Structures are given as C-alpha cells and as structure tokens.
A and B are shown apart, each in its own frame.
Chain A
Amino acid sequence: MTKQVQQLDRVIIRFAGDSGDGMQLTGDRFTAGTAEFGNDLSTLPNFPAEIRAPAGTLPGVSSFQLHFADHDILTPGDAPNVLVAMNPAALKANLGDLPRGADIIANTDEFTKRNLQKVGYDASPLEDGSLAEWRVHAVPLTSLTVKALEGFELSKKDAERSKNMFALGLLSWLYHRPTEATVSFLETKFAKKPDIAKANIAAFTAGWNYGETTESFSVSYEVKPAKLPAGVYRNISGNQALAYGLIAASVQARLPLFLGSYPITPASDILHELSKHKRFGIRTFQAEDEIAGVGAALGASFGGALGVTTTSGPGVALKAETVGLAVMTELPLIVVDVQRSGPSTGMPTKTEQTDLLMALYGRNGESPLPVVAPMSPSDCFDAAVEAARLAVKYRTPVMLLSDGYLANGSEPWKVPAAADLPDISTEFAAGPNDGEAFLPYLRDPETLARPWAVPGTAGLEHRIGGIEKADGTGNISYDPDNHDRMVRLRQAKIDGIAKDIPALEVDDPDGPGGGTRVLVLGWGSTYGPIAAAVRRIRASGGKVAQAHLRHLSPLPANTGEVLKSYDKVLLPEINLGQLALLLRARFLVDIISYNRVRGLPFKAEELAGVIQDVIDSE
C-alpha cells in the first residue's frame, strides 16, 4: 500500500495519559528525534504534583506538548493538531484545547466501562458520535503492544507498560522522525535489563510498522528541517540551561561553585544537575531546610566561593532574612527562584510570574538587589551568567527569576563556545586600602562595591554582620546620619548597575516616529507568546512594537524613554499586574495590563487578540 505524504510547515502534538503511562518520556524521545532531524521546536510538559494520582482519573493526567516546524518558532503552540489520548481521562482533560478537525489517536483498550465512569462518561465518546468534528483514530494500543511482545518472556503487565513506546513508534512513522536515537537510548537506559530493552524496541518498531500498514492512517506528514543560524545545536530545558549557566559562571569567574539547596518543585532539577558535575569542583549541599541552604551559600561566599541557592517562591519567603544579611554584608550570592503558582503551596507544578514584587521588595528594611529574568529555556544559561557577573562585580545578592514554564520547557540551543563567554572574574582584596589600614566598607568609586577580603588573607582580618555598618570601617554604628548614608549608598550601588546593562531594545519595524502607536512590553517567560502574537499582528498588516525586560532591577536606563515614545503600552503578565504597578509608579505611564493567572503560559492567539483590541481601541 502506498501512502500519501503531505508537507506541513509546523505541527503541534500533545501526548496525554495517566501519570504512570510514561508520557514525559515519550515526549522527550519524540523531541530528541525531532531535534536530531533539524526542526525548530519548543516543548511544554504539564504534569500533576502528585507522583501517582489514582489511575485513570482526571487529576492523574500528565501531558507533554511539542511544537515543531520548518522555521523558527517561539512557543510550544496554542492548540494541538494531534492529541494522543492513552485513556478516557486524557481525552476528557485535553479535548477542550483541541480545535475542530484535529487528529485524536485514542487507545481504545483503556476505554472500558469502568474507566469511562471514572471520568463521568456515560457512553464511550469514541462510539457515541460526540467526536464527529475531530478525526478519530481508534487504536488498541495496549493489546497491539502485548501482541507484538508475545515472543518475549514478559508478564502481561510488563508488556503493557511498553505501550508508550508503541505510541512513539506510530507517531514517529506519522511524522517521519528518525528512529536510531530512540533505539540507542532504550539500549542505554535498560542496559542492565536487556530483555526490557529489546521489548521496548520491539514495541517501538511495532508501532512504526502499524502506521505503515493500517488503514486508519492514510497520510503521513513531513516537516522539513528549519533554517536556523549555522552552529552546533542541542535541545535543552530551562533548568538544565540554568545549571549549565551556573557552571559556566563558576568557570568564567574562576570561583568554586557552592550550591546550598533544599528540594522543591520546580527547582530541584537544578540541584540534581549540579550534583552531577563535581569534576568542576562544584560542592552541592542538600541542606536541612531552605534557610540553611541560603545560609550555607552565603557562608561559602564569605569564604570566596560563588554561593548559590536554588528554590521556588515558598523557599524565597523563608530565605528572605538571609538575603537581607547578604545585602547588609555586601557579599555575592545568587538566589534562583523558579516561580510557581502561589500563594502558599499553590500549584507546585504550574507556572506563574507572581514573585516579582517579593524578589524586589520581600525583605525587611531598604534592601535593594538586582533582579534578572530569563526569557526562554535556553536563555536561562545566559541569564545565570549575567546574574553571576552582577553578584561578583557588585558584591550583592542577585535574584534570578525563572519559572515553571521555562524550567521544564525545552528548545534547541545553539551551543556557545566557552572561549566566547564573558570573563566575569574579580580580584579579592590583597592588602590595605587606606594607608596601613584595611577598611572593609571602603567602596570602589566606580561600582560602589566594597572589597571582598576572604579569610586566609593576612592583615585583612575583619568582622562583618547584620548590624548597620559605619561607612568605611564597617564597625557597628547606630549613628542616624551614618544609617541614612548607608541606606542610600546601598541603593545607589544597585541603581548604578543601570550603566552596566544593555539599553532596552525595541523591535519596531517602522522605527521611532514611524507611526506605530502600540508597544507591547513583557518580562521573563512571556517573551515567546508575546513575540509570536506580534508576528501574527504584523502578518495581517498591523503595526505593533515589542520590547522585553531582562533586568527588572535596576531597569535599563532608557526604560522610561521607551515607554513614553508610544501612545499605548500593553503589558501582559502572569500575575495581577506587578510590573505594571512599578512602571506606573516610577514613570507615570498609563500601562494597559493584561493578566491571566491560570498556571499556564499565554497563548499566542490569545495575546494577538488582546494586542489587536488595543490597536483598535479609540
């Protein structure tokens, strides 16, 4: 049977199943094949906080969405073209996101009366006509897998477990993905259990062959490789990129990395990743609590290490007092906040931008510090290096605001050469700085940073702490004027960093004064959906400018000027308008906020509608 091959420019697939069905692994492997093939891609895993919610229920549904294309793309895509539903719960939980006409590949073996009842279906939607507006491919994935594995010495349960590989094989056929990497991945993963490896490979191959022979699929699809800038690429998630960025920062600063951390979703993967790289002299310390994590990191910084702590919002709340101590003692420290839905425990696996004001102001006293936010998964690498640069150069704690979407999402990354990374090294104090004396709070006139004199340096013995310091000597001081001066000096040091960061760039094809009236501004992980929405507007002839803030404290020096050069400034945020509040107060600009706090990233189509409404208004 010859099958038709159709060319597509982009496809969005969502794998959905029970949290025990291996959907994240299936998605990861499809992603690896897609990256190897040379498409541009972007991924969005979405999983429950429960490790194993009751099987077959809606709370137990785990999904992985992948957008791949023959051109550069910015988001994991709004709505899937294909949904792989491993059970009725996966269908029900995801059908709302599925546009009419999309493909549904459903595992019919799981559409039993009991499973249907669990999620409130009276009749099977595969049979009652309710899915008539979609293209349904009813495939008995489980029984086909079991059948394909009949020759193996496996229990039925073990054989059934390979059904995700069957589904992966089928999808790999459907979209012409290369298979070698998955085969070698399975061989490596199950190196100690060769029978399981063989079974999984057999299931994968059976899925592929099923696609080729079944009449359920008459068409397969090709998405040509994307034309991306020349270079060596790899796929990388935000957490992995952030961990690599910290390692690179340690190398480029010539300082040993010390991570003090306490496990917390969605930041733990950074701890896991850094723990693997002891060859770089990295010390990872899993502390007894969040406070000890940051305390140990600060202690290591005092000793001359690059001290880092990684956490999410609830952990930042606990670390606040120690971060204040770092502000007071003016020591380098990197605090990574992988934001998640709050308040309190909130929705640990879901994303949000709601920690901005906490990062900026969530400490007692006037305690300014730089805040840096990456804008895509791979940008977490550069943002981490930048956070380290500021921490080391200005002797200050720096807050690095990632989020759950960046942390778990992935995209191809053009791998930089180590030689091209910035040198961010600094000098420790080596001798007296005031005649014969050493003054630990005598500042560099340019940066206002104080000397970093590490224990073991003879003649520079000094004491620091959380009590207010006398300007210069660093001795305890309760003098009113000295306190006022020190409060202002600490603020001036952070404000002065504005001279040392890039200006806010505006993407406006018509240039300033070119007639574009609306600027859409963003920060952090909303870059992708905003840029995709802006493309849509421009593709349909609309005029809109875009700017994206990477430094939230201090803001780039030209921020006010940029905001004031447009009639309208739209600011979408996954919070209730935290950055808008600041910009309104600081620049007296009537920002138009767009806020959704659903634990999910914005969709490009949604934002395009919002931008169009602003363009069309008055």
Chain B
Amino acid sequence: MSELLNGRGLSLVPKSDVKQSMKDYKSDQEVRWCPGCGDYAILAAVQSFVPELGLKRENMVFVSGIGCSSRFPYYMNTYGFHSIHGRAPAIATGLAASRPDLSVWVITGDGDSLSIGGNHLIHALRRNVNLNILLFNNRIYGLTKGQYSPTSEVGKITKSTPMGSLDKPFNPISLAIGAEASFVARTIDSDRKHLQSVLREAAEHNGTSLVEIYQNCNIFNDGAFDQLKDPEQRDDITLRLEHGRPIVSASKAVRRAADGGIEVVDRASVAEDEILVHDAHRADPSLAFALSRLDEPAFEHVPIGIFRSVDRPSYDELMAAQLEEAVAQGGPGDLDGLLLSGDTWRIG
C-alpha cells in the first residue's frame, strides 16, 4: 500500500473474515443505464476493486443524489441510499459522522454535485467528513435528456441552449481545492487500472476524498473525452500526476514559468531537473490549483491522477473526540441530574 495512507480512513471499519470477489458486490437488480454508457465501466471497476479493501460488505454504504449516476447504489450489494437531488453529501455527512465504523461512498454527477448540490459539496470538502465522493462528470444532464450542465463548455448547443450556453463552466478540481479539500483526484472511465488505483488511495484517505471521473454519455454528449481516449494523441495530452515523479506526458513536461506560475513545454526542450516533480502532500494548495488550471484551454493537456492528498483530521474524528472529552470531564450523561440542574425548589 502507498505511503500516502495514514490508516485512519478505514481503520474503524471491520474487516471481512472471508475472501471476497466481484460477485459478492453485485446486487440482484438489473442494471438500467443506456447501452454503451460510461457508467457500466465505472460500476465494473468499483465492483472489482472493493473486494480488495477486505471490508465487511455490510459496513459499506453507497449514497447518491439524483441523476443517471445516482442509480449506482442499487447495483451494489451493500447498504445503499438513493436520495434526492444534490443532497447526498449532506445525508452521507450525518451517516458518516455518527457511524465511524462505516465506509461511506457518495456517487454523484456534475449536475447533482455542482449545480443543485454545490453548497453541500463544498461544505463536505471543507469539513473533511470521512466520505469518498465519486463525481461522474459527463458534462451534460443525462436523466433530464440533454440540457447543458455546470461543466459544459461555453457555447454548448443543447435543448435548453439552442444558441449556445453562456455560462463559464466549473473546473471541479479547482473548485474542490478552493473548498479546502484534503484529497482531490481525476481519472477516466475507460482506464480501469488508473481508476482503481485512484479509488484505492481515496478509500484509504482520512477525510473527504473527491474523485472526478470523466465519464462518457454516449446519448447526449458522446465523445466528450475522445481526445483522452484516442491512441493517436492521448499519451501526449495526458499529464500523469504521480507523487514524487516528474509531471510529464509522452511529449510534454511541466516546469516553473518565469512569471512565477507553471507552464507546459515540449519535453525535449527541458532538462530533466527542470521538470516539476509532483508533491501531492504539499500543505500549500496553490501548486495543486495551478496544475488544475493546465487543461485550459480544454484538452490541450489534461492532468490525471491525485492532485492533492494531505493529512488533516476528519470531521467525524474531531466530533467523536469532543464527545469523549465531554465524558472525560463530566462523566457520562445522567438524565435525572440534567433535569434537576439549575435552580430547583421543593413543594410539599
């Protein structure tokens, strides 16, 4: 396991006595996404990855909001809660904060988490509740049949924007870093190996992990991430973020720019020691933020991997500590004592 792990993220979740397989995590429900949807690949990746965590299946909970991706919990043979639009992080917060023995996963999409649920997302991140948030970003509204989303590119032609969308999209990674997230990563539905490696780190992370997963909606926004999948160009576009390794693609490299920022240059034009080495654990988030801005303009070069992973106490851990401290100071609660506290008098 990686040196990133501090162990607290899952340390209170009971371990399974038996070896598990992907089969154990498939529910008996028929999967009802459109044929060819990227969600199938993510589901398969998750189902085949979770057994290796070795957790008791009954201590795993998937919570979702509304949207195509939010049907996900029905297909996992764990506990699940398919809630209402945008509210999954809030519901999961109550669950995770009161049950440190659970591994809680939030499944959400770009509309669910960044439009209607934007407030809950940023507050979950700053609190650092022990959650893993998987943000399926297909840059479109699928379930409501094809309106533009908060991650759609400007000028997007959809049913609700026949002359093109006007609003600048969110960059979910920049947003999460700005919201004080302690773990922020990006991966892609078609790269199972990378997806699972990111999920592994996310699961073990103490506090909230946000994983943006580029996911293709083949009905309403097909090919949104084609550049990243096209064998001709993907290796040049994709900047792999690996802790302690130089940030490069096949042909590009990232280095410090003269103006104090960072820039992407031809790999051949720089000396190896000029290339920026990725440090996911930097306390200061400004470099991670700068990395998140490298895919502007979109898809010229796209960092993939873990942008940021820092150790910070989780909200649930701190909350539990306060309860323990209160008991240590005053003993466990006594109801008669409480009711009779303050000024009392006796009659008769």
Contact = CB atoms under 8 A, between A and B. Distances in A.
Residue in B58, B90, B96, B333 whose Cβ sees the most chain A Cβ within 10 Å? B90
A467 B143 CA distance: 14
A418 B343 CA distance: 18
Nearest to B123: A288
Contacts of B192: none
Contacts of A256: 98
A260 B319 CA distance: 13
A462 B27 CA distance: 9
A415 B340 contact: yes
B74 interface: yes
B348 A231 contact: yes
Interface string B87-127: 10011111111110110000000000000000110010000
A278 B330 CA distance: 10
A35 interface: yes
Given A32-B343, A461-B78, A291 B87 contact: yes
Interface string A251-291: 10000101010000000000000000111111101011101
B205 to A, nearest CB: 20
B19 interface: no
A228 interface: yes
B331 interface: yes
Contact of B102 (A289, A321, A456): A456
Contacts of B345: 35-36, 38, 232-234
Interface string B33-72: 0000000000000000000000011111101101000000
B234 to A, nearest CB: 36
B97 A300 contact: yes
A302 B95 contact: yes
Contacts of B325: 278
B169 interface: no
Main secondary structure of the interface of B (DSSP, over half): mixed
A475 B29 contact: yes
Contacts of A461: 57-58, 77-79
Given A232-B340, A297-B94, A415-B344, A463 B333 contact: no
A321 B87 CA distance: 10
Nearest to A227: B347
A181 interface: yes
A379 to B, nearest CB: 15
Residue in B73, B119, B331, B339 whose Cβ sees the most chain A Cβ within 10 Å? B339
B326 interface: yes
A291 B91 CA distance: 10
Contacts of A324: 84
Given A36-B343, A280-B333, A461-B57, A292 B95 contact: no
B102 A325 contact: no
Given A280-B333, A296-B94, A230 B99 contact: no
A299 B81 contact: yes
B98 A277 contact: no
Contacts of A302: 81, 91, 94-95
B336 interface: yes
Contact of A35 (B73, B327, B343): B343
Contacts of B331: 279
B23 interface: no
Interface in B154-192: none
B338 interface: yes
Contacts of A32: 343
A461 to B, nearest CB: 5
Residue in A285, A301, A462 whose Cβ sees the most chain B Cβ within 10 Å? A285
A75 to B, nearest CB: 21
A303 B94 contact: yes
Contacts of A282: 323
B151 to A, nearest CB: 22
A456 B98 contact: no
B332 interface: yes
Nearest to A248: B335
A292 B335 contact: no
A228 B347 CA distance: 7
A417 B343 contact: no
Contacts of A233: 344-347
B342 A463 contact: no
A251 B333 CA distance: 9
B335 A247 contact: yes
B281 interface: no
B80 interface: yes
A305 interface: yes
Interface in A180-229: 181, 225, 228-229
Interface residues of B, number: 61
A96 interface: no
Interface in A462-492: 462-467, 475-476
Given A233-B344, A307-B94, A458 B56 contact: yes
A285 B60 CA distance: 23
A285 B58 CA distance: 26
A515 interface: no
B197 interface: no
Given A303-B94, A415-B339, A283 B323 contact: yes
A463 B29 CA distance: 10
Nearest to A462: B79
Residue in B64, B95, B99 whose Cβ sees the most chain A Cβ within 10 Å? B95
Residue in A35, A460, A476 whose Cβ sees the most chain B Cβ within 10 Å? A476
Nearest to A457: B58
A414 B284 CA distance: 57
Contact of A296 (B74, B93, B330): B93
Nearest to B333: A280
Nearest to B120: A292
Nearest to B322: A278
A299 B95 contact: yes
Contact of A292 (B64, B87, B330, B340): B87
A315 interface: no
Contact of A418 (B102, B339, B347): B339
A233 B343 CA distance: 9
B83 interface: yes
A15 interface: no
A234 B348 CA distance: 14
B267 interface: no
Contact of B98 (A230, A305, A421): A305
Contacts of A466: 66, 82-84
B74 A455 contact: no
Given A35-B345, A291-B90, A461-B57, A281 B335 contact: no
Interface in B226-268: none
Contacts of A235: 343
Given A291-B87, A304-B99, A458-B58, A181 B80 contact: no
Interface string A25-66: 000000010011010000000000000000000000000000
Nearest to A309: B94
B100 to A, nearest CB: 10
A35 B345 CA distance: 8
A464 B81 contact: yes
Contacts of B343: 32, 35-36, 181, 234-235
B344 A299 contact: no
Contacts of B91: 295-296, 298-299, 302
Contact of B83 (A251, A325, A418): A325
A277 B99 contact: no
Given A232-B346, A287-B123, A292-B123, 11 more contacts: A233-B344, A247-B338, A279-B331, A292-B93, A296-B91, A305-B98, A321-B84, A416-B339, A456-B99, A461-B77, A465-B82
Interface of A: 32, 35-36, 38, 181, 225, 228-235, 244, 247-248, 251, 256, 258, 260, 277-283, 285, 287-289, 291-292, 295-305, 307, 321-322, 324-325, 329, 415-418, 421, 455-467, 475-476
6 contacts: A279-B332, A288-B123, A292-B87, A455-B61, A456-B99, A464-B80
Q: Which 6 residue pairs of A and B lie closest in terms of their CB atoms, listed nearest first?
A: A230-B348, A465-B82, A296-B94, A299-B94, A295-B90, A280-B333
